[in-house]
Amino acid sequence: MKKAILNLRPLEEKHLKKIQELAPDYTVVSSLKEAEDRSAIKAVYGWNTEDGQALIDDSASDVQWIQLASAGADYMDFDKLKNQKITLTNASGIHKFGIAESVFGMLLSYTRGIGYSIKMQAQSKWEPISSGQEMNGKTMLIVGAGEIGQQTAKLAQVFGMKTIGVNRSGRSVDYMDEQVTQRNLKEALFKADVVVNILPLTDETRNLFNLSLFREMKESAVFINVGRGQTVVTDDLMTALDEKYLAFAALDVVHQEPLPSDHPLYKREDVLLTPHISGNLDAYDESLFAIFEENLKAFAAGEDLPKNVVDYLAGY
């Protein structure tokens, strides 16, 4: 019986032809119902909790590789995947331009009074802000210095900002004027005018940004979260804003999504909320397939996958 790839993402005809070209020994099925034998499915493109979970829960499953459509993989059962010797790859890197641009969109909305002006326009009011902030000469602390962090730092330097990157190792990365380890995050916070959180969700990062860290920030600081909502203790963030430990927060992700309509974050003048849209792209599936294609070449040849392999121990 021919081996199969379970496809759980939209694929154009050109993509299907490319799969056939790279992996002629495989057929593509779009649901478990289409598969004559689940044990024939060796790879999964995309993910959903119905077909995907049912497949790996099946004792007859012989899945060897799953390509996620997201950069974050914290919703996957790492222990199960590791025990079944399944390689997991993510979509890390395809969001870097969109998310970095969103960071500056949110930041400038606050510093240049754009968000305020939109609110005044909706009320038919001509009420200029009393002053605006310039980013030139300010310092941005980027917590999570991967591809998105580096692209964010690149834009920050164009604005004339100093950049400080935070990662686990403290190794130098592009576009960072200074680099520190996550262990030294608390000591670095007081230097920053803008703190950008781009961390994945792991055991180490869950609830990392709590009241203790917010206390270390400048009273004028802006906190931006485009990483994972559960890396921030939301109640602590609101308390920090109330106590003026920082000035403003822009959140593309929150601890509970969708955020309930009665949550107090919605009504805060010192918080900008965007509904987890910073990673949206106009060519998402094209960008994702490029990762899948590179990995498929290696997979079909029986080689180790070269792109975006998730480290189960690190959690990303």
pLDDT in tens, 238-293: 999 999 999 999 999 999 999 999 999 999 999 999 999 999 999 999 999 999 99
Q: In percent, how much of the chain has pLDDT > 70? A: 100
- Annotated active-site residue in 9, 38, 95, 228: 228
Per residue in 56-113, pLDDT (tens digit) is 999 999 999 999 999 999 999 999 999 999 999 999 999 999 999 999 999 999 999 9
Is position 228 annotated as part of the catalytic site?
Answer: yes
The Cα–Cα gap between 116 and 125 comes to 11
Determine the average pLDDT of the residues in 182-209: 96
Strand partners, 27: 4
pLDDT given at position 35: 86
In this structure, what token pair is assigned to residue 299? Answer: 């997979």
| Residue 203 CB-half CA count within 13 A | 5
The hierarchical CATH code for the domain 96-273 is 3.40.50.720
Is position 206 annotated as part of the catalytic site?
Answer: no
Per residue in 123-167, pLDDT (tens digit) is 999 999 988 999 999 999 999 999 999 999 999 999 999 999 999
Please say if the pLDDT value at position 1 is more than 80: no
- Annotated active-site residue in 12, 257, 286, 303: 257
Is position 257 annotated as part of the catalytic site?
Answer: yes
pLDDT given at position 80: 96
CATH topology match: 3-93+283-300 vs 96-273:
yes
Strand partners, 88: 66
Is the N-terminal amide bond of 264 cis, ω within 30° of 0? no
Rounded to the nearest 10 degrees, what angle do helices 284-300 and 13-22 cross at? 10
Cβ partners under 8 Å of residue 221, min gap 6: 189, 192, 193, 194, 195, 246, 247
pTM of the model: 0.93
| Residue 104 contacts residue 98 (beta carbons within 8 Å) | no
- Annotated active-site residue in 112, 276, 293, 294: 276
Determine the average pLDDT of the residues in 191-196: 98
pLDDT given at position 188: 97
pLDDT given at position 36: 81
Query: Is 3-93+283-300 in CATH node 3.40.50.300?
Result: no
- The domain segmentation of the chain, as residue ranges, is 3-93+283-300, 96-273
If one counts every other C-beta atom within 10 angstroms of the C-beta of residue 188, the result is 21
112 against 33, higher pLDDT: 112
- Answer left, alpha or beta for residue 111, where phi above 0 means left and psi between -120 and 50 means alpha: alpha
